[in-house]
Amino acid sequence: MGVQLNLPGSPPARWPKFSSPLRSTALTARLGRILGICMGICFATGLLSHYQYQPWSWLPEPASPVWGYRLTQGLHVTTGIATIPLLLVKLWSVFPKLFQWPPAKSLLHGLERLSIALLVSSALVELVTGLFNVLNWYPWPWDFVPVHRFLAYVLIGSILLHIAVKLPDIKYGLGTKVAQGDVLTEIPWEQNPHAYSNSNDTHQPPPVTEGLSRRGLLVATGAGVGLVVATTVGQTVTPLSPIGLLAPRQYKKGLQRVPVNRTADQARVTELLDAVRAGNWQLSVKGAKPYTVSLDEILAMAPHEAHFPISCVEGWSVGVQWRGVRLLDIVRRAGGTEDSRVKVTSLEPRGSYNYSFVDGPQVSHALLATHINGDPLKDDHGYPLRLIAPDRAGVLNTKWLSMVEVL
């Protein structure tokens, strides 16, 4: 197979030796299987989530089920979080391979090892940036979304390549009982020239050892993953919020029982909202028949209620009872229909999320809300008027509206 690299026959003198008989193909294959399932769900829901964040103009977002985005994003963040401990244990289980000797047996083998370097580094960067995103912390100068999305393709590609290359090992590993099967790297290389090699390992039976068993390791890993999931999922599965020790955003801690993303202060609209309170606000509606409407007029219109969740890309979500006027009623009065494409714009002077588009079925279902959970919107939730639509990324539910354009 390809070019034989000319490397010394034995590794450097201070090369590490590994002695845990827990490491085995059977164990790694099982860890890899759960990891693969988690990462697969995380990738698929990530793609869906990205589409809902930036819907294609030829395929408008659906409006039902109302909890669609909540489920997608909850799964994306939860499987992503579960992946972190799983990946660490999986890496531990194959860690000695990093020190295999010779580093590459052939050009092809060298390329395969490089692809693993790409796999591991993209997975680590992806998970760390994702976790920081959940914490609403962006300590880097670049845009999170394109980088996270690009790395997802790199990662999924290198995973598929890795699975294809390792198929013989995976088959062997899954076909062996976890307590039996080879020890991945325990045999000192001097005694076993195949000990650090890949697919053509001579599979040796494990020695009898005391202490943690491989099954015990799998159970401990499962328990650890379960604990991490149980203590974070309360940010979206609200009945579990009391044990959400690792869930920073919980509805009970939020203003009006809803967490706030970007306060009025952060969006620099506080002074503008004081002017709104002083009576200097009108919603300006553009279209074939443009008009303006005051807050009093909006409050005098027939109120509509809806129970839509607000689901943030950062992983928290909560069901909310909204009251307001129907976007469609506002749109019709300007000469539009349920097939119109609508742009809503915020008072917020700067920021990437100070406007959004509504089209397709969402036009008929969206509300321009004045009330949240029975009370008038507080400033941080978008006073005097905000958009809320079903099955929609939180970030697209624009707060502090000033204008509606029927396009």
Ligand X SMILES: Nc1nc2c(c(=O)[nH]1)N[C@H]1C(S)=C(S)[C@@H](COP(=O)(O)O)O[C@H]1N2
Binding region for Mo ion (CB under 5 A): 261, 312, 394-395
Antiparallel, parallel or unpaired: β 282-286 and 291-294: antiparallel
Which residues are CB-contacts of 142 (< 8 A; sequence separation ≥ 6)? none
Query: Which residue among 232, 346, 362, 402 contacts ligand X (CB under 6 A)?
Result: 346
Which residues are CB-contacts of 319 (< 8 A; sequence separation ≥ 6)? 67, 238, 307, 308, 309
Closer CB to Mo ion, residue 91 or residue 395? 395
Q: Is 398 in the site for ligand X (CB under 6 A)?
A: yes
- Binding part of the chain for ligand X, among 28-36, 70-78, 178-186, 256-264 by CB under 6 A, reads 256-264
CA-based nearest residue to 374, from 333, 323, 298, 302: 323
Cα 166 to Cα 247: distance, rounded to the nearest angstrom: 36
Find the DSSP H helices in 235-350: 270-277, 295-300, 327-333
Among ligand X, Mo ion, none, residue 353 binds (CB under 5-8 Å by kind): ligand X
Query: Which residue among 38, 39, 310, 325 contacts ligand X (CB under 6 A)?
Result: 310
Closer CB to Mo ion, residue 166 or residue 392? 392
Query: Which residue among 51, 67, 353, 357 contacts ligand X (CB under 6 A)?
Result: 353
- The least distance separating ligand X from the CB of residue 77, rounded to whole angstroms, comes to 13
Please say whether the dihedral angle defined by the alpha carbons of residues 366, 367, 373 and 379, taken in this order, is positive or negative.
Answer: positive
- The least distance separating Mo ion from the CB of residue 261, rounded to whole angstroms, comes to 4
Scan residues 260-279 and list those touching ligand X (CB under 6 A). 260-262, 267
Cis check: omega of the bond before 12, within 30 degrees of 0 = no
Among Mo ion, ligand X, none, residue 354 binds (CB under 5-8 Å by kind): ligand X
In order, the DSSP letters of 213-246 are -HHHHHHHHHHHHHHHHHHHGGGTSGGGGGG-TT
Query: Which residue among 394, 402, 404, 405 contacts ligand X (CB under 6 A)?
Result: 394
- Kindly list the residues in this chain that would bind ligand X in the complex (CB under 6 A): 258-262, 267, 310, 312, 346, 348, 351, 353-354, 380-382, 394-395, 397-400
